[in-house]
Structure 1
């Protein structure tokens, strides 16, 4: 039987976007099951039974239910022969994890929409405050990421083929564009982005290709 996957997904979720890219890079046929964050689908009893955190994404594959995007990507790498999402050597694996975590664990959490909304609730701010919050942390985080990338060979984040680090970078750049963060001065990031965005695996995972859920 062919290996297939079912991804509970929200089109603009950075974490979901990462996993969509990884699944595409590994040529794993995937059905997307939209979970609309705006209507609270992620808080339903049905979804919480699968993912008690109520977060996205959730991946069903190989008879398993998997959560947490980077853990999912590492599982897919380990379970898929020929995967290059992580390098084969320990130093390379460290480097790709370092880059991936710099985005997924440093930039993403503070820019999560629920975090930004809580800031607005506490301060009484509006949409301008939200946008400024996002721009501040995205630009600061990507500036540090640019410094990390300068010591790695390209054209991708780490070498001549995309890895988990690229799966993290491209969704973060989508968010940077969405919130008006200026990344024009980050030459090494732009190089990696050009390399990734030229691949169908990244193009097909883009939120515009997936489309917003109904309602």
Structure 2
């Protein structure tokens, strides 16, 4: 499948929702890859492929891509099997919107770097409220957006791009940031989270982990 039968390298972190999106896509498409577990943004090996020091970063032969959205679009174009996007243009647009809301309006504002900074300049007791505020606002938008399109999964009965973004974000919100999600407020997101939590596919851990010195 890969050029020269050489596996891709994914620089990842187990707690990174951005990395988890990419791991889910690679697994969904059945792409062979080596997962290199990075625990420091200053790690020299990571800085060689992404000077920003962020994960995920994908190395495919001579091609290096950072940013989860760019990686996912690259994988979709190179490996169209098990498409991340539905054929229906309306549902395809909804997938793009879900990915955008999570990647631009939720995830950056609950990123641990920013949350810890809020704790430093305002006070540690403000960290959780800050994250919860922005997650809740984004989830309210997603609940309304998906109401007409959800099936077994976010935009139908197949796993698509929206699910790859939504599953890690729900996990972060509930387990890391202790967001109280009531049935009255988020009935659809609760249902989707229950579906994700029961499927081994969404629980997969990084495979072929290497731990650089």
Query: Fold-level match, TM-score > 0.5?
Result: yes
The correspondence for 2:149, drawn from 148, 152, 155, is 152
The CA deviation string for residues 168-206 of structure 1, in whole angstroms up to 9 with x for no partner, is 11111111122110123222112323333443321214x
Q: Structure 2 length as normaliser, TM-score?
A: 0.86
Q: CA RMSD in A?
A: 2.4
1:73-106 CA-to-partner distances (Å, cap 9, x unmatched) read: 1111111132321123433321110011111111
Whole-angstrom CA distance in 1 between matches of 2:6 and 2:146:
34
Aligned residue pairs: how many?
Answer: 206
State the SS of the aligned residue for 2:204.
helix
Counterpart for residue 183 of structure 1 = 181
From the superposition, tell whether residues 81 and 3 of structure 1 become closer, same or farther in structure 2 (CA, over 3 Å): farther
Closer, same or farther in 2 for the Cα pair 1:53/1:214, shift >3 Å?
closer
Q: Distance in 2 between matches of 1:144 and 1:116?
A: 22
Distance 1:196 1:62 in 2: 33
Alignment partners' CA distance in 2, 1:210 and 1:16? 15
Other-structure match for 1:174: 171
Give the structure 1 partner of residue 46 of structure 2.
Answer: 47
**Residue 27 (structure 1) shift:** 1.1
Structure 2 unaligned residues grouped into runs of 5+: none
- 3-state secondary structure, aligned to 1:43: coil
Following the alignment from structure 1 to structure 2, what is the Cα–Cα distance between the partners of residues 214 and 180?
32
CA distance in 2, matches of 1:17, 1:4: 18
- 1:142 and 2:139 aligned: yes
* Structure 1 residues 129 and 159, CA gap change in structure 2 (3 angstroms): same
**Which shifted more, 131-140 or 152-161?**
131-140
Q: What CA distance in whole angstroms lies between the structure 1 residues aligned with 2:103 and 2:14?
A: 17
Unaligned runs of 5+ residues in structure 1 are none
